[in-house]
């Protein structure tokens, strides 16, 4: 092709790119307008959306929306709350400096903001960097290698949430009750209640007046008095860094039809496909269970030299246990299929819980190291193992054993969960016990085919009086 032809091709390509960008901007503006109308927002009154919790997924979620809708400043305000005062350790500061200097776009942005020098000083030790400070420049301490767009960060919780229209709960499930108890106090005088999207994975196990679990959305309702139809759950399959880097990802938002459909449309992007589903119970419970079995997946991979067959067999047994436990808790549970199955698969394949299990099996960390790691955050599957095991071992509960034909406690049908409990909580079994846990003589199909497993008392559906420190609970 001649020089003129090349020039024409480049010009046409540039024009097409501009048209695509303009079309996407128009689509974003339309989605924002529709959500504002659903919420009854008047002209001149911006939609106020705040993320509570700044772990990897919580930070990425708000940064992704800032990337998409941040240009419409008059129509939407986005901010992110995290606790102040958390220092960035020297090793992280040094690595952060290397990341900054390897990315020309990030380097130029910091120089323009006159912020580059503080990272130089932080690396040299002449200045302490704080997590909320670097987050304002687009760096999450749990995901240093993935620079985000800058977001507005506040460290005062009341300032962050008092007038919010939509709150995204990006906290670990162990923090939900404590933080939202404070938020509930700030909202006592509100005339209208906000919408809350929970990203939390896990449950609380309570033993009084009978064994049952409380999911994160139920905790939020308890602590705030927000109507249950205003509280939704959003789950994967997705990995935070991949979502922000615009790799293909899926999510499902679950809850009342009134809000899940407009929110699904608002959150949907070309690379981030969001579907909606009414079954919040199945998705929340599975969200907690997947972290449990992801730890075992990491162990199995390391112990078997990443044997594809061993990992596949483990996947079969672990998903059967997940289906069984969910059937105990929900009268009409959704199937482990589609995005829900994909979410389980990606967590077992890649994620902090699988990473933790692999490191344990390789001897690179020990159980005594704890459950929080720099650059990873909290390994939520550890407390989840204890909580689900505590729930299913209660003598007051029984199910019919499909092979033995006699009543047994539900935990007796969960060899992998029992093995993880002995390894991580009781510390009475070696890491290799996880392999014995899934090399069972029983075909896991029996768990999947159980029909009368539902135990109504295990899942509390209605809000109860707020728990006090005297209540018997296990948090996940």
Residue that wins the pLDDT comparison between 1 and 127: 127
Domain boundaries, the chain: 15-85+152-277, 90-129, 280-475
What pLDDT is recorded for position 460? 63
Spatial separation of the C-alpha atoms in residues 221 and 127, rounded to whole Å: 42
Higher pLDDT, residue 109 or 380? 109
**If we measure between CA atoms, which residue out of 431, 422, 420, 429 comes closest to residue 358?**
431
pTM given for the model: 0.87
Confidence of residue 16 (pLDDT cuts 50, 70, 90): low
Helix-then-strand count for the chain, H and E? 19, 15
- Confirm if 380 and 173 have CB atoms less than 8 A apart: yes
Model confidence pLDDT, tens digit, residues 180-234 = 999 999 999 888 899 999 999 878 888 888 888 889 999 999 999 999 999 999 9
Superfamily of domain 15-85+152-277 in the CATH hierarchy: NAD(P)-binding Rossmann-like Domain (3.40.50.720)
Nearest to 444 by CA among 323, 330, 286: 323
CATH no. of 280-475: 1.10.1040.10
What are the phi and psi torsion angles at 192 (to 5°)? -125, 145
Residue 476 confidence class, pLDDT cut points 50, 70, 90:
very low
**Least confident segment among 26-30, 112-116, 118-122, 466-470:** 466-470
Q: 44-53, 140-149, 326-335, 345-354 — which is least confidently predicted?
A: 326-335
pLDDT at 465 over 60: no
Question: What's the pLDDT band for 469 if we cut at 50, 70, 90?
Answer: very low
Check if the beta carbon of residue 236 is closer than 8 Å to that of residue 56: no
Instruction: Give the contacts of 380 (CB within 8 A, at least 6 positions apart).
Output: 172, 173, 174, 201, 202, 288, 291, 353, 371, 476
Active site annotation includes 290 = yes
| Active-site residue, from 290, 359, 376, 422 | 290
Cβ distance 182 to 69 under 8 Å?
no
DSSP state of 150: P
- List own/partner pairs for 363-370 with CB under 8 A and 24 or more apart: 367/423, 367/424, 367/427
How many alpha carbons lie under 13 Å from residue 116 in its C-beta half-sphere? 15
CA 437 to chain CA centroid, Å, is 27
């Amino acid at each position: 092709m001649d020089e003129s032809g090349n020039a024409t091709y480049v010009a046409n390509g540039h024009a097409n790119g501009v048209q695509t960008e303009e079309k996407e901007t128009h689509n974003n503006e339309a989605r924002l307008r529709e959500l504002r109308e659903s919420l009854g927002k008047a002209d001149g009154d911006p939609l106020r959306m705040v993320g509570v919790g700044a772990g990897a997924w919580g930070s990425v979620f708000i940064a992704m929306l800032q990337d998409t809708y941040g240009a419409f400043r008059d129509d939407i305000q986005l901010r992110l709350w995290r606790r102040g005062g958390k220092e960035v350790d020297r090793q992280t500061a040094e690595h952060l400096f290397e990341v900054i200097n390897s990315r020309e776009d990030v380097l130029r942005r910091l120089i323009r903001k006159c912020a580059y020098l503080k990272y130089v000083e932080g690396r040299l030790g002449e200045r302490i960097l704080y997590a909320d400070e670097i987050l304002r420049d687009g760096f999450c301490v749990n995901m240093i290698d993935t620079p985000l767009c800058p977001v507005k960060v506040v460290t005062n919780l009341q300032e962050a949430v008092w007038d919010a229209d939509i709150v995204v709960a990006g906290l670990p499930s162990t923090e939900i009750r404590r933080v939202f108890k404070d938020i509930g106090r700030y909202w006592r005088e509100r005339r209208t209640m906000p919408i809350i999207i929970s990203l939390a994975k896990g449950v609380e196990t309570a033993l009084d007046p009978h064994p049952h679990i409380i999911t994160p959305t139920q905790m939020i309702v308890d602590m705030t008095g927000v109507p249950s139809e205003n509280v939704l759950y959003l789950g994967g399959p997705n990995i935070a860094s991949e979502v922000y880097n615009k790799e293909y990802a899926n999510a499902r938002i679950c809850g009342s039809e009134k809000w899940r459909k407009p929110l699904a449309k608002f959150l949907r992007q070309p690379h981030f496909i969001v579907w909606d589903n009414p079954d919040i119970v199945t998705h929340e419970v599975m969200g907690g269970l997947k972290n449990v079995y992801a730890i075992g997946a990491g162990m199995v991979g390391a112990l078997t030299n990443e044997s594809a067959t061993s990992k596949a067999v483990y996947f079969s047994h672990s998903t059967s246990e997940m289906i069984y436990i969910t059937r105990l808790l929900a009268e009409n549970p959704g199937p482990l299929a589609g995005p829900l199955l994909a979410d389980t698969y990606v967590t077992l394949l890649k994620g902090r819980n699988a990473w933790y299990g692999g490191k344990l099996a390789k001897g690179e960390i020990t159980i005594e190291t704890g459950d929080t790691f720099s650059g990873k955050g909290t390994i939520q599957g550890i407390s989840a193992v204890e909580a689900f095991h505590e729930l299913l071992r209660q003598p007051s509960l029984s199910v019919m054993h499909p092979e033995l034909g006699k009543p047994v406690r539900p935990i007796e049908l969960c060899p992998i969960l029992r093995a993880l409990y002995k390894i991580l909580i009781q510390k009475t079994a070696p890491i290799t016990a996880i392999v014995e846990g899934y090399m069972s003589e029983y075909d896991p199909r029996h768990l999947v085919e159980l029909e009368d497993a539902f135990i109504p008392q295990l899942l509390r559906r209605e809000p109860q009086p707020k728990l006090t420190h005297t209540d018997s609970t296990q948090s996940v």
